[in-house]
Structure 1
């Protein structure tokens, strides 16, 4: 664990904080597609990601999902800490975008370290800022982009966080993340393929225009 901490967070945190993280954290491996956190679930831990990526989703009253953003190695999701300051219940869903190795930190340590370590406080505040910027970008995408542009941005974002230009998803998976219909996604994916931006195969999409 210490080697991973040093590699991914050693440049951020002082040795004393790394010691506490090592003493209190538990390593966990989440397989692709596995749910890490669900809406309404009590939050007891916060993740520090060593490798892989996690997608964060919101759900409406009808049970339809919308992708908010991705978190990847070297990140955390300050939204979990924010939820704990309120009801302690999650308002988001977190699913592994790829096989993900992470460290689970007990939520009660968050506030303690915020007061004790400036590096941790800056890390959490920077995470808030990054997540807020990504939420604003999501709003801009919904408000100002056409659906084909949204699909292309979504595919590029997934390729970036997984470091793989092949996206292993069905058209229905893409439609679910973007809160639209499979018919619309299939039509626009075909159009993007004709434009030479992607290459379609059974159950995966290759991104050509990165």
Structure 2
């Protein structure tokens, strides 16, 4: 864990803080598709990502999901942090986008480190800012973009997160993330293919326009 922790957070945190995280943090490894935090869960610790990627989803009263943002190495989820500090239930679902490892940090240390370490305090504030910016961008796409523009942006973001132009994903999975129907997604994917921005293959989508 020591090397992975230093590679992901060594340029952010002081050596003393890295040592504390290594001492008390719990290392976890999860597989693609696993749910690590669900809606209405009480959260007792916050994750620090070492590798992989996680997608954060919101759910409406009918059970429809909407993708809010992705988390990568060196990130944490500000919404999770808020639940930790406020001891409230989670309002989001965290699903593993690709095989991921992370360190879980107990709630008790979150407040202690905010006082003790400037780097931790800056990290927490920056996490809030980054996640807020990403949620505002999600709102903008819903309010101002056509569905084909939203779809292309989603594919571009997913390709970057997975570090691969070729995405192994079904039309139905894309429809779930964008909270629309598979029929709509299939039609728009064909449109994007005709425009030369993607190539459709069986259970794969090759994204050209990055």
TM-score, normalisation: structure 2: 0.97
Pair 1:182-2:182 in alignment: yes
How far 1:103 sits from its partner (Å)? 1.1
Number of equivalenced pairs: 210
How far 1:6 sits from its partner (Å)? 1.3
Query: Which aligned pairs between 1:1-210 and structure 2 lie closer than 5 A?
Result: 1-210=1-210
Aligned 8 A contact 2:43 2:87 in 1: no
Q: C-alpha offsets along residues 173-202 of structure 1, whole Å, 9 cap, x if unaligned? A: 101100111110000001111111111111
- Which ranges in structure 2 are unaligned for 5 or more consecutive residues? none
Distance 1:106 1:167 in 2: 35
Instruction: Please identify, of 115-124 and 78-87, the stretch whose mean Cα deviation from structure 2 is larger.
Output: 78-87
Q: C-alpha offsets along residues 87-135 of structure 1, whole Å, 9 cap, x if unaligned? A: 4211110001001111111122111111111100000100000000000
How far 1:7 sits from its partner (Å)? 1.1
TM-score, normalisation: structure 1: 0.97
- Which ranges in structure 1 are unaligned for 5 or more consecutive residues? none
Which runs of structure 1 show a deviation greater than 6 angstroms over 4 or more consecutive aligned residues? none
Distance 1:95 1:65 in 2: 12
Distance 2:86 2:111 in 1: 13
Distance 2:204 2:82 in 1: 35
Distance 1:43 1:192 in 2: 40
Distance 1:90 1:205 in 2: 32
**SS of 1:62 mapped into structure 2:** coil
Q: C-alpha offsets along residues 64-101 of structure 1, whole Å, 9 cap, x if unaligned? A: 00000001011111211112333421111000100111
**SS of 1:189 mapped into structure 2:** helix
**SS of 1:152 mapped into structure 2:** helix
**SS of 1:99 mapped into structure 2:** strand
Distance 1:168 1:139 in 2: 26
